[in-house]
């Protein structure tokens, strides 16, 4: 799990648990099955209405996998790795790629294309389509979790309204007022927690990840094209440095 995400999750859960404990420590009082069913079931239903089943089945696991995990590589590492591959091609030609092992799957796929002698246009089109499809699925994941974050507080309010209706309908029976009020208040709590501690932060992280993955995969595609054209390692490195932020370029070039 990404370090910042792990700290955020622990801090969020710890904050809520700490408040409950400081207020008396009765955790059972914060559980109500009616409110939970209303919020979770209603949020799931509203999200399914908003998207196709395929989009949800693709977006939900994409959010867990890429929203909670750290980036597998950094641009500087990719540039160094691609430069080393270019050095291999300069010395041994494309056939030298048969013995090259790289970690990033997109880079490995592109090098296989080069080693197998595919045309330049085919390599570029295939890698760009793969990048675009991946980014579309990642964007779908962000939209699904954004929708969950939008729906959960609304269904919390619906739970509150239902609880208030039950309460007013049983004003003559004091024994039913407490459970009805619990449905009202806990529904709002559940909806707010789902949205603000889980769904919306995950949607925002996926949007950031979308930009990072677009940068990394575009950098890899550009590097593969340079290797396919058998450019010198120095030229490949200098061209790819342009993908780094301005304040990192000079120190990277010196290193």
Report the C-alpha gap between 252 and 245 in whole angstroms: 10
pLDDT given at position 147: 95
pLDDT given at position 106: 92
Report the C-alpha gap between 11 and 2 in whole angstroms: 14
pLDDT given at position 96: 85
Distant-in-sequence, close-in-space partners of 131: CB < 8 Å, separation ≥ 6: 106, 214, 217, 218, 221
Per-residue pLDDT of the chain (255 residues), as tens digits, is 677 778 888 888 898 889 888 877 778 888 888 889 999 999 999 999 999 988 888 888 888 888 777 777 788 889 999 999 999 988 888 888 888 888 889 999 999 999 988 999 999 999 999 999 999 999 999 999 999 999 999 999 999 998 888 888 877 777 777 777 878 888 999 999 999 999 999 999 999 899 999 999 999 999 999 999 989 998 998 889 888 877 666 666 555
Whether the predicted model's global pTM rises above the 0.75 cut:
yes
- Integer angstrom CA distances of residue 255 from 80, 115, 227, 231: 11, 30, 22, 21
Residue in 213, 241, 216 with CA at minimum distance from that of residue 83: 241
pLDDT given at position 251: 60
pLDDT given at position 131: 94
Residue 9: other Cβ atoms inside 10 A: 16
Name the one residue in this structure whose structure tokens are 């909670």. Answer: 68
Q: Got the DSSP string for 106-134?
A: HHHHHHHHHHTT--HHHHHHHHHHHHHHH
- Ramachandran angles phi, psi of 23, nearest 5°: -90, 5
Report the C-alpha gap between 160 and 156 in whole angstroms: 6
CA 241 to chain centre: 26
Residue in 44, 5, 39 with CA at minimum distance from that of residue 147: 44
pLDDT given at position 148: 95
Residue in 238, 235, 245 with CA at minimum distance from that of residue 215: 245
What count of Cα atoms within 13 Å lies in the side-chain half-sphere of residue 175? Answer: 0
Report the C-alpha gap between 9 and 13 in whole angstroms: 6
SS3 90: helix
CA dihedral 98, 102, 104, 110 (to 10 degrees): -30
Length reported for the chain: 255
Beta carbons of 62 and 137 less than 8 angstroms apart: yes
pLDDT given at position 167: 83
């Amino acid at each position: 799990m990404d370090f910042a995400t792990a700290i955020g999750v622990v801090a969020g859960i710890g904050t809520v648990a700490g408040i409950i404990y400081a207020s008396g420590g009765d955790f059972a009082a914060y559980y109500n099955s009616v409110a939970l069913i209303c919020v979770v079931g209603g949020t799931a239903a509203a999200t399914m209405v908003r998207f196709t089943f395929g989009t949800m089945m693709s977006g939900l696991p994409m959010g867990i996998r890429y929203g909670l995990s750290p980036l597998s590589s950094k641009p500087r590492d990719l540039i160094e790795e691609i430069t080393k591959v270019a050095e291999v091609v300069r010395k041994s030609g494309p056939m030298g790629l048969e013995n090259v092992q790289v970690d990033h799957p997109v880079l490995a796929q592109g090098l296989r294309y080069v080693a197998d002698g595919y045309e330049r246009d085919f390599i570029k089109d295939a890698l760009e389509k793969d990048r675009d499809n991946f980014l579309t699925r990642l964007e779908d994941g962000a939209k699904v979790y954004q929708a969950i974050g939008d729906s959960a507080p609304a269904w919390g309010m619906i739970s509150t309204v239902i609880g208030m209706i039950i309460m007013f309908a049983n004003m003559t029976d004091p024994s039913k007022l407490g459970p009805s009020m619990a449905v009202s208040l806990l529904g709002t709590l559940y909806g707010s927690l789902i949205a603000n501690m889980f769904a919306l932060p995950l949607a925002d992280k996926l949007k950031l990840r979308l930009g990072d993955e677009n940068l990394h995969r575009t950098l890899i595609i550009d590097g593969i094209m340079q290797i396919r054209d058998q450019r010198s390692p120095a030229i490949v490195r200098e061209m790819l440095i342009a993908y780094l932020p301005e304040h990192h370029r000079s120190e990277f070039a010196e290193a």
